[in-house]
Every structure is written in structure tokens, then in C-alpha cells.
Chain A
């Protein structure tokens, strides 16, 4: 099952890559640099999904005390941090030629950067507690606090400043861009979701093996 997920994600990513370079048109003003969006947007969306799963799994852990829920939260935290980090990096590479700067304190950049440090803190907390049961409990509390904090961070940073182009995929009125851009984006989005599921499944399995080895 996990193996199937792996091959599936590899195939989907390959198709996504071909579509991003072969099917999607060259953007008129930004040029080929715009193609990085087919990786950047799916990474960020997949990281939000991972953090959402982390929050739900944390809640489930606190209610049921099921170590499996904790492993899902742990794995999602690691993958989410990796995705968000890669999302920031790819956004930066895109921003340099397009905006003329690697980084700017725009609302959405700032929100994502705060998410990154918040969940790095989550992983740090996990790493610093030796007792696995206590680590799971504290991490679950932090996971819930962090999830509830995301809307607050979003609004405060949005009011603070905004410069980012408005969301092009999910906005009131629906997607208005060309379908030649939409399809490569959606295929890549699905590919990265499968990749997340695959990595999470592998990580959960490894965490279970670690727990069994130390028990």
C-alpha cells in the first residue's frame, strides 16, 4: 500500500513536471520564471494541509491517547515544515527576478514565515523531551494552540501590510485564468498531496518501529 503511494507520487510528480514545462505556456511578462509557481503553490497548499492534519491528530491524541494519532501529528509536522521551507525557498527564487528582491515583509510572506518558525518550535519541543508520552502530550497542546493561532496571525499580518498579488486559484468568483495554466497547477497540487501522504505513511511506520524498539 505504502509502496503503491510512492510510485503513484513519483508518476504524478513526473506528469506534473512535464505539464509545467511542456503544456503550460510561457508567461508573457514574467517569462519562464513563472513556471516555478507549479511547484511553489502546491508546496504551500500541501504544507497547510499537513498542519491541518497535525491539528486534528493532536486533538484526537488528547481525547483518545492513541499513540498512532501522535505519530501522524509528528510526521505531518516534519513534512509540513519541510514543504513550507521549500515553498519559501522557491518563492524567493521567483521573487528575485520578478519583484527584484529575495524577500519582502509582505502579508502572505510574513504569515508563511511565522508558520515556519512556529512549527520549527513544535519540532524543537518534541526533540527536547526524552519521555515519549510527555513529548506527545505537550506537542499535542502546542499543535492545537498553533492551529488556533493561524487565523489570528493571518488577520494581524494582513492588516499590517499587503503587497502579494491576490490569490489566483481560490478567490471569490472562481479561477479566471487560462485553463492551460490551471491544469498543470492542479496536477502538481494532486502530485504533492500524494507525496505528502506517502512521506507521512513512511514516517509513521518508522516512528512506530522506533517506539517498538525502545519499548
Chain B
């Protein structure tokens, strides 16, 4: 099988499993709804204060659901004893990484679209002109999160304390992505054009490229055994 077809096979397999079991998606959707309650209770009902912290809170929601979703990347294989299958797969292992990453991205985009929709309804934010720019920022930020998250998920899959270790490893590395996305979102929600936050978007793009290249080059090493 060609490289692209192997990557696609992994992604398709994961999405098919997810579509039939809905294990992760159902829990994530409900989790993001709960997050909304938690934010509302902890921040209070003051509209102005809410508006000021909204970009940060929005990304907090994205990151928390990402931690749950990405951390589970290789648990399908673990739980159904298919880990050896991954190890034995022929050819360059980075195809598996790309497939897993694609599956994660689809899952996260679905959840993020939902969270964003819930925010619009519950916190009464007017996306309006900000939406196209926001899509770019969310796409780049999610790619950065998922690129490293998928690599780290493979590293922590076989460790006992993976639920704790995964966020402990991922969050410090993702600080640039978090700062850039929150700052860019802040600017966009204030009505600024995408050009005004271009330096953050460039930083995100650079981070994505670096994370992707490193992950593709090192994934073979992680999946050696």
C-alpha cells in the first residue's frame, strides 16, 4: 500500500470505530456542555467581565476537551489488544501518525464547532465578521495541539500514570500555541481584521510546521516497541 493510503486507512479505521461506538464523541460533547456550566458558575453573570475573559475561556474549553480527546488516541489499540498490529505494520510508521492525527483533527473540529456554537448561544457573543479569521486561528491552533498531542499520546499510551503525565507533558510545550491563539482570538473578537493579529498567526504557522516535522521524524522511534 502506498504511504497516503496507509495513513488514510488508519484515519478511516479510527473514524469508523468512533462513528459506531461514539465512545469519545458522546462523552466529549457532554463534557463541553458541562464546562460551559462550570465557566458560568465560576465567572458569575456579569456580562462585561465575561466579555473580557471570553477568548481565554473559549480556549480553555478547547484545550480541556483536547486533553481528553488526544490522550485517548491510542487507547483503542490498547483496549482491543491491537497495539502489536500497529507495531507490526509494514513501512514507515509516520503514516500511522498522520492517520491518527487526521482522525484527531476531525474529532476536535467537531467538538470545537459545537463549543463555539454553545458559546454563541449561552454567552451571547456576536461572531459576525470575526468568523472567517477565527476559523483560521482555530484551525492552526488545533493543528499545533493535535500534532504534539498525537506524538505524546503514543509515548504515554503504555505508561501507568498516563492520564496525569499526558497533560503534564503537553501543556508546557503548548504554551506558545495557547498564547498565540488566545491573543489572536481576543483581537478578532474585538473586531480587528486578521491582518492586525498576523504576527500571532505566523507564530502559529511556524509552530505547526516545527511540531509536524519533528513528530513525523521521531514517530518511528516512539513506535519501536
Contact = CB atoms under 8 A, between A and B. Distances in A.
Instruction: Note whether A and B form a binding pair.
Output: yes
Interface of A: 62, 114, 117-118, 121, 124-125, 128-129, 134, 137-138, 140-142, 144-146, 148-149, 152-153, 155-157, 159-160
Contacts of B172: 114, 117-118, 121
B203 interface: yes
Contacts, number: 78
Contacts of B200: 159
A162 to B, nearest CB: 13
Contacts of B201: none
A87 B183 CA distance: 29
Nearest to A157: B179
Contacts of A144: 214, 218
B118 to A, nearest CB: 28
B159 interface: yes
Given A125-B155, A148-B210, A142 B175 contact: no
B155 A156 contact: no
19 contacts: A62-B221, A114-B175, A124-B169, A125-B155, A125-B156, A125-B159, A125-B169, A141-B155, A144-B214, A145-B151, A145-B214, A153-B175, A153-B176, A155-B176, A156-B175, A156-B176, A157-B176, A159-B183, A160-B179
A138 B152 CA distance: 9
Interface residues on B, range: 20 to 34
Contacts of A137: 221-222, 224
Contacts of A152: 176, 203, 206-207, 210
Q: State the main secondary structure of chain A at its contact with B.
A: helix
Nearest to A152: B176
Contacts of A145: 148, 151, 173, 211, 214, 218
B159 A128 contact: yes
B173 A141 contact: no
Contacts of B175: 114, 153, 156-157
A60 to B, nearest CB: 13
Nearest to B171: A117
Contact of B218 (A62, A124, A125, A159): A62
Given A145-B151, A155-B176, 10 more contacts: A62-B218, A62-B221, A141-B218, A141-B221, A142-B169, A144-B214, A145-B218, A152-B176, A155-B203, A157-B175
B218 A149 contact: no
Nearest to B172: A118
A32 to B, nearest CB: 35
A157 B172 CA distance: 12
Contacts of A160: 179, 183
A138 B210 contact: no
A137 B223 CA distance: 10
B160 interface: yes
B180 interface: yes
Given A62-B221, A121-B168, A148 B159 contact: no
A3 B221 CA distance: 37
A156 B224 contact: no
A141 B151 contact: yes
